[in-house]
Amino acid sequence: MQGIEEVRTVLSTPKNILITSHRNPDGDAIGSSLAMCLWLEKKGHRVMVAFPSEYPAIYHWMPEIEQVQIYDVDPDPIAEFVNHVEVSIILDYNSLTRIDKLGKLLEDKNLYTILIDHHLYPDPIGDFILSDTSASSTCELVYRFIESYDRSNLNDLTIATCIYTGILTDTGSFQYSTSPALFRCVAALQEIGLDTTAIHDRIFNTMEEKNLRLLGHCLANRMEILEEYRTGIIFLNKHDFQVYDIQRGDTEGIVNYLLKLKNVHMAVFIRQQPTIIKISFRSKGDFSVEEIAKNYFNGGGHRNASGGYTKSSLAATLDLIKAILPSYKEQLIKPII
Ligand code: 5GP
Ligand code: MN
């Protein structure tokens, strides 16, 4: 792995290390950050994991998660730690703009920076960069990184649990972005005794009743299918957020239901949040939602899974999406299977 020798030199003495990941951290952001943290702590480093915003409650069970600092909740411990930080590790994002004010804290520091990520178009940040857009997840890349650093370090069930969580969630339970290398990695994790069924249950089978009712509401009352453009849209307005007491993470996975329809090639899920309209895009086949997220919604991500936002109204956002569709019609109606 190119550059790993330099990393080895940097990490050869105990360091103060800050690990950051993106706003609204998902299983991959959390899993990769915790895996890296646990690994570095075993090597004698002092590590802080910081996210710009809270993580979903379904990840409360993860090892060491109680140590994670949230900038939105309390920036002070992070700001204080940054004064002593020597190494910055950027996981599952590739532009400091994705971590808002936390990014500003790091911007002017001249820190040795390690970037491990699988999103498209990385900014050239990082002294050591492991960026592979064909990888299933940042967790798979963290596995690859630790493996090339020192294979014996992977014989740790806690680290394996964190890595597996990100792989499981970012591949939609092994539906997409799979590869022989990924399955070899998972096989190695299972060989050390990982209970994959238990992890699956913890993440996917622990819903509250109100969440299943919210899903019912989305499908019954908030879903629009634009068959002509092979597009499905679900939106939630401010009122829905109140009625269903929607908390962080409660809307996770809803967008994927649209893709279950034979005639939906692109899924769009729009949420009216207090200050912005947040949008998730998903697609099947070659159709790139990344381009739409980037060009029209200040966002980005991957070809088949991207996100973005607008600062306009919910109605204007819906109108904008519908206005864009005709120019993508030819690509959208292309048969997938
Ligand atoms: P989700 O729809 O689950 O929030 O995000 C899907 C993918 O798009 C993730 O890989 C996420 O990192 C990326 N993404 C979501 N929102 C944004 C955004 O506002 N900007 C960028 N650049 N990427 C985003
Ligand atoms: Mn990821």
Say what the pLDDT of residue 108 is.
84
């993508």: which residue's tokens? 328
**pLDDT given for residue 86 in this prediction:** 97
- Summarize the confidence of residues 181-189 as an average pLDDT: 97
Pick the CATH number of 4-204 from 3.40.50.2020, 3.40.50.300, 2.60.40.420, 3.90.1640.10: 3.90.1640.10
Share of the chain above pLDDT 70, in %: 100
| Atom in ligand 1 nearest the alpha carbon of residue 170 | 10
Atom of ligand 1 nearest to the CA of 119: 10
Q: What are the tokens at 331?
A: 């690509």
Q: Which ligand is nearest to the CA of 251?
A: 1
User: Which of the ligands is closest to the CA of residue 56?
Assistant: 1
Q: What is the pLDDT of residues 67-93, one digit of tens each?
A: 999 999 999 999 999 999 999 999 999
Q: Which ligand has an atom closest to residue 30 CA?
A: 2
Average pLDDT over residues 102-126: 92
Other Cβ atoms within 10 Å of 183 Cβ, number = 12
Q: What fold, for 209-332? A: Diaminopimelate Epimerase; Chain A, domain 1 (3.10.310)
Residues 6+ apart with CB under 8 A from 274: 238
Alpha carbon of 163 to ligand 2 centroid (Å): 11
Whether residue 49 contacts residue 37, with contact meaning beta carbons closer than 8 Å, is answered with yes
CB burial readout 193-208, b (16+ within 10 A) else e: ebeeeebeebbeeeee
d(CA 101, CA 322): 33
d(CA 70, CA 321): 33
- Give the pLDDT confidence score for residue 20 in this predicted structure: 98
pLDDT at 153: 79
- What pLDDT, in 10s, does the model give residues 6-62? 999 999 999 999 999 999 999 999 999 999 999 999 999 999 999 999 999 999 999
Q: What is the pTM of this model?
A: 0.92
Cα three-residue angle 191-192-198, rounded to 5 degrees = 90
Report the pLDDT value the prediction gives residue 154, as an integer from 0 to 100.
Answer: 85
pLDDT the model gives residue 134: 96
Give the per-residue pLDDT at 124. Answer: 87
Q: Could you tell me the CA-to-CA distances from 249 to 20, 24, 163, 211, 306 in Å, in that order? A: 19, 8, 20, 10, 16
Domain ranges in the chain with CATH number 3.10.310.30: 209-332
Residue 2 pLDDT greater than 90, yes or no: no
Spacing, Cα 224 to ligand 1 middle (Å): 22
Nearest CA owner, ligand 1 atom 20 = 299
Ligand 2 centroid to Cα of residue 302, in Å, is 9
| pLDDT at site 135 | 97
Res 151 pLDDT > 80: no
Confidence at 152, pLDDT banded by 50, 70, 90:
confident
Identify the band that residue 150 occupies on the pLDDT scale cut at 50, 70 and 90. Answer: confident
Average pLDDT value for residue range 184-205: 97
Residue (of 53, 19, 49, 78) closest to 249 by Cα position:
53
Instruction: Choose one of 256, 306, 309 to mutate for the ligand 1 pocket test, by most ligand atoms within 8 angstroms of C-beta.
Output: 306
258-308 tens-digit pLDDT = 999 999 999 999 999 999 999 999 999 999 999 999 999 999 999 999 999
C-alpha span between 299 and 318 (Å, rounded): 16
Residue 107, pLDDT above cutoff 90: no
In tens, the pLDDT along 310-321 reads 999 999 999 999
Beta strand pairing call for 305-310 and 300-301: antiparallel
Mean confidence (pLDDT) of the chain: 96
**The two three-digit tokens of residue 201, written as one number:** 């249950």
d(CA 309, CA 272): 10
Q: Which of 115, 164, 108 is nearest to 136 (CA)?
A: 164
CATH 3.90.1640.10 domain position(s) in the chain? 4-204
- Ligand 1 contacts (CB < 6 A) are 22, 98, 119, 280, 299-302, 305-309
pLDDT at residue 1 tops 90: no
Residue 208's pLDDT is 92
